[in-house]
Amino acid sequence: MTGTTAASWPPEALGPFLVSLAPVLLKAIIVLVLMLLIGRWASDTFRRATARAGMDRSTRILGGRIIQLTVLIIGGTVLLDLFGVPPATLIAAIGIAGLAVSLALQDLLRNFFSGIYLLFERPFAIGDTIKVKDNEGVVDYIGFRTLRLRTERNEQILIPNSMVVAEVVANRTHATPAPEEPPGPAAAT
């Protein structure tokens, strides 16, 4: 060894430091476990309640994830407060970072929130035949960013959700046929 002996490790100052840190670590572990359990419980409760109400599966999953993420963020703030990081500083930093990210990812966020709107509003469902601009086909998938259509020629068309929300959408599945006109006098003769 190079000048250190087994008797000098760990340093004497480390013992009191660990003893003073033990209550904070114990609180942090308790908060972490509670945060994970509450997040899972809240998400599962939301999914079960919305399943009984007959809500769409993708909407149930989205809502459950948002609830779980919210609980994790609150728990993370409490954890950082335990270690001496003031929540106001954390919230300000998250706000600045959120602004920078939202400006950089503006188009992606527009499509994401349009996708959430489509999942909640449900102007059409998977399996419906729709027309958006010049594209017509059967709705194959509704995601957070894109809508996928399958044409009669079995082509796959991906349309950004922001375009679907901004354009006129014709839902051919729920169209009613025009009433037939009775034959006129010219047809009777």
Q: Is 131 helix (H, G, I), strand (E, B) or coil?
A: strand
Residue 185 belongs to some domain of the structure? no
- CATH value at residue 77: 1.10.287.1260
Residue 177 belongs to some domain of the structure? no
Average pLDDT of span 104-117: 83
Does 87 lie in the same domain as 16? yes
Does 100 lie in the same domain as 32? yes
Residue 2 confidence class, pLDDT cut points 50, 70, 90: low
The residue range of the domain holding 149 is 125-171
Does 144 lie in the same domain as 68? no
Residue 5 belongs to some domain of the structure? no
Does 148 lie in the same domain as 74? no
Residue 115 belongs to some domain of the structure? no
pLDDT tens sequence across 171-181: 888 777 667 77
Question: The pTM is what?
Answer: 0.48
* Residue 145 near residue 108 (C-beta atoms within 8 A): yes
Strands 156-160, 146-150: pairing is: antiparallel
Average pLDDT of span 48-72: 84
**CB within 8 A of 42, min separation 6: which ones?**
67, 68, 71
Does pLDDT of 188 surpass 60? no
Residue 162 belongs to some domain of the structure? yes
Question: What's the maximum distance between 2 C-alpha atoms anywhere in the chain?
Answer: 120
Does 150 lie in the same domain as 99? no
Average pLDDT of span 154-180: 84
Residue 112 belongs to some domain of the structure? no
State how many domains the chain has.
2
